[in-house]
A and B are shown apart, each in its own frame.
Chain A
């Protein structure tokens, strides 16, 4: 297994454009998480899925953000009408059942909104 992968690794966009990120978790993991990390801060939870069901969303996830995991495998995170404040590293993680044993993180997608 090659671990959690994310695509793209870097994305530069203009304010107002839509962007979509993809995450491929470790294959046997049924839980998938999205976090956001800004410079000098720790990651902040955005949302998580168990299989294809989205079970929790943070208040950080405004209406412009939507996440899907249609077949319980890969996931996408879309940001509509991007704003400069959306510039951050978007991290995906996966785990098997609960987080009590830790989550495995991908390399992240760095978004820059101009």
Chain B
């Protein structure tokens, strides 16, 4: 079946550091890939998406590239801010529902 494996947390970085959160997937066919973010006390928000191989999704300085050859969709940001502290979920859709990873908690310290 479909599954998503993402980097275990928690991850703690200093402000302005470079961020990578790894995500790999297993799926039949070619799913759409997503990163969702959950800020403290808030609901899940769609951060970015990519619907086919080699697509790059980007939003709020975050980027992720759909790599079919490595079945990966790693999340990156060049310079993180304290306000980026949240839980990040990688997800795929193939069919009519989303399959999520377990989430990575990111804490940015000033």
Contact = CB atoms under 8 A, between A and B. Distances in A.
Interface of A: 4, 31, 33, 35, 40-45, 48, 55-56, 91, 93, 98-108
B96 A98 contact: yes
Interface in B78-101: 89, 91, 93, 95-101
Contacts of A56: 96-97
Interface residues of B, number: 23
Given A33-B98, A98-B93, A102-B46, 4 more contacts: A42-B91, A91-B43, A99-B97, A100-B32
B92 to A, nearest CB: 9
Contacts of B102: 40-42
Contacts of A48: 96-97
A101 B49 contact: yes
A35 B102 CA distance: 14
Interface of B: 4, 32, 34, 36, 42-46, 49, 51, 89, 91, 93, 95-103
Contact of B100 (A44, A100, A104): A44
A43 B4 CA distance: 12
Given A102-B49, A103-B46, A107-B43, A55 B96 contact: yes
